[in-house]
Amino acid sequence: MGGAGSEERAVVENREWYLAAYAPEGVPTSDHLKLRTVPLSLAVDSIPDRHLVVQNLLISVDPYQRTRLTGLEDGLYFPQFKLNEVITGFTLGRVIRSKDSNYKEGDIVLNAFSPVAEHYVVPSELLIRKVDPTSGVPLPDFLSSLGVPGFAAWVGIEVLGDPKPGSNVFISAAAGAVGMYAGQLAKLKGCRVIGSTGSDEKVKLIKEEFGYDDAFNYNKETDLDAALSKYFPDGIDVYLDNVGGNMLEAVLNHVNKHARIPVCGMISQYKKIWTEREGVRNLLNIVGKEVRMEGFLVGSYLDRFGDFTKEMQSYIIEGKISSKFKIYHGIERYLESLGSLFTSSNVGKVIIEVNP
Ligand SMILES: NC(=O)c1ccc[n+]([C@@H]2O[C@H](COP(=O)([O-])OP(=O)(O)OC[C@H]3O[C@@H](n4cnc5c(N)ncnc54)[C@H](OP(=O)(O)O)[C@@H]3O)[C@@H](O)[C@H]2O)c1
């Protein structure tokens, strides 16, 4: 195992999660993802030039990782992980060996394709960047408000949703990583913001901590159409879709003329093979209401990442955007933490602290 003192050792017993079997449906289990221990040499001679050894500190747990476990190349996000290979994700780690003069031991680095492991060896050119741990921004924020979830919320709301003061904005999975920032960003634009989420506790949280004007528990609303009539008497101008399925269908009955629907994800459908997914029967409403519905991936907006960072960082410093984290302690909890995204047992941004 890693942890304090690994800097002095020549070999670490490195724990890593690998794909043992594909999971086309349902929530992945220990049949699909397994933890193994593999010795990793830290001897400087064994590290190639312009490579680093990184000890992971924080691992981001994200819904798209589940879409890479199906074994089905059905066009979702990224290619499938390979059997018996270590899975990857966004991480923040500390450099503990460096064969690149641009990096020194102790540097904190961000990696979008890090092995979900305690340590890894990487060509330095594959890292996203260094992170300044003295910037005043807590490290978990680089995987959350200033990372993919914050950026996805910003692209969805500010770039594609383009809400005006007074616009009626609806956000699903509103208590999750993307949802908590999307609601706060829309409020900062002067919108009326309503969220849906899966429990009464989360309804309370998003109203009290993230400033949503109102919210409802979709598990309690047996008639989503009626719920949206109640919460949107003047219709919906912007819907940031995180869940797809029957919620999207209900929304399409309440959209205003020229509404925007930035489609960030459709998590309600990720556990199903595509022929079993829910169809949306009233897509025709997009025509009559001239709705702009647009899927997006944050990776296509990297030219706006600087604008996003500047804006988000100032909101954080001014205390206008807050975050909630669900931290799991220890890499052995990765499988459980991934499952929490699909059983609604998470709240805020889910992160693994690797060596607590
Ligand atoms: N396009 C991009 O570039 C991009 C980037 C990041 C994330 N995303 C997408 O954004 C969405 C949110 O991601 P996140 O990282 O912020 O995850 P998250 O919201 O923190 O966690 C997932 C949440 O989805 C909800 N959920 C799970 N199964 C559901 C179902 N069957 N029906 C309705 N809600 C369900 C649960 O919340 P409840 O308690 O509300 O049920 C769960 O907490 C996902 O669709 C993800 O794929 C897209």
Q: What is the pLDDT of residue 75?
A: 61
**Are 154 and 212 contained in the same domain?**
yes
**Are 35 and 131 contained in the same domain?**
yes
Q: For residue 211, give both structure tokens.
A: 């400033």
The pairs formed by 306-311 with CB atoms below 8 angstroms and a separation of 24 or more are 308/150, 308/151, 308/154, 308/155, 309/146, 311/154
Give the rounded percent of residues in the chain with a pLDDT score beyond 70: 96
pLDDT value at 274 more than 80: yes
The pairs formed by 76-83 with CB atoms below 8 angstroms and a separation of 24 or more are 76/270, 77/297, 80/22, 81/19, 82/19, 83/19, 83/20, 83/21, 83/22
pLDDT value at 77 more than 90: no
Give the rounded percent of residues in the chain with a pLDDT score beyond 90: 88
How many other β-carbons are positioned within 10 Å of the β-carbon of residue 200?
A: 13
**Are 10 and 116 contained in the same domain?**
yes
C-beta of 64 in contact with ligand 1 (< 6 A): yes
Asked if residue 254 belongs to a domain, the reply is yes
- 3-state class of 339 per DSSP? helix
Question: In the predicted model, what is the mean pLDDT of residues 150-159?
Answer: 98
C-beta of 33 in contact with ligand 1 (< 6 A): no
pLDDT value at 5 more than 50: no
**Are 15 and 130 contained in the same domain?**
yes
Contact (CB, 8 A) for 105 and 97: yes
**Are 162 and 289 contained in the same domain?**
yes
Contact (CB, 8 A) for 240 and 255: no
Asked if residue 307 belongs to a domain, the reply is no
Asked if residue 295 belongs to a domain, the reply is yes
How many other β-carbons are positioned within 10 Å of the β-carbon of residue 87?
A: 19
Question: Chain-wide mean pLDDT for the chain?
Answer: 94
pLDDT tier, 78 (very low <50, low <70, confident <90, very high otherwise): confident
**Are 137 and 154 contained in the same domain?**
no
**Are 13 and 137 contained in the same domain?**
yes
Shortest-distance atom of ligand 1 to CA 156: 1
Asked if residue 315 belongs to a domain, the reply is no
CATH of the domain at 244: 3.40.50.720
Mutate to test the pocket of ligand 1, among 159, 248, 344 (most ligand atoms within 8 A of CB): 344
pLDDT value at 83 more than 90: yes
Q: What is the pLDDT of residue 135?
A: 84
Cα distance from N-terminal residue to C-terminal residue, the chain: 12
Which domain covers residue 91, as residue numbers?
Answer: 6-143+323-353
Separation of CA 9 and ligand 1 centre (Å): 40
Asked if residue 264 belongs to a domain, the reply is yes
pLDDT tier, 271 (very low <50, low <70, confident <90, very high otherwise): confident
**Are 139 and 158 contained in the same domain?**
no
Asked if residue 85 belongs to a domain, the reply is yes
Q: What is the DSSP string of 163-215?
A: --TT-EEEESSTTBHHHHHHHHHHHHTT-EEEEEESSHHHHHHHHHTS--SEE
Asked if residue 310 belongs to a domain, the reply is no
Q: Which residue owns the Cα nearest ligand 1 atom 41?
A: 198
Separation of CA 63 and ligand 1 centre (Å): 6
Specify the range with the lowest mean pLDDT, choosing from 68-72, 229-233, 258-262: 68-72
Helices (H), 36-161: 63-67, 148-154
Q: Which residue owns the Cα nearest ligand 1 atom 22?
A: 341
**Are 331 and 291 contained in the same domain?**
no
CATH of the domain at 72: 3.90.180.10
Mutate to test the pocket of ligand 1, among 242, 268, 278 (most ligand atoms within 8 A of CB): 242
Q: What is the pLDDT of residue 48?
A: 95
Counting the structural domains of the chain, the total is 2
**Are 215 and 345 contained in the same domain?**
no
**Are 131 and 161 contained in the same domain?**
no
C-beta of 323 in contact with ligand 1 (< 6 A): no
**Are 187 and 329 contained in the same domain?**
no
Asked if residue 308 belongs to a domain, the reply is no
pLDDT value at 4 more than 70: no
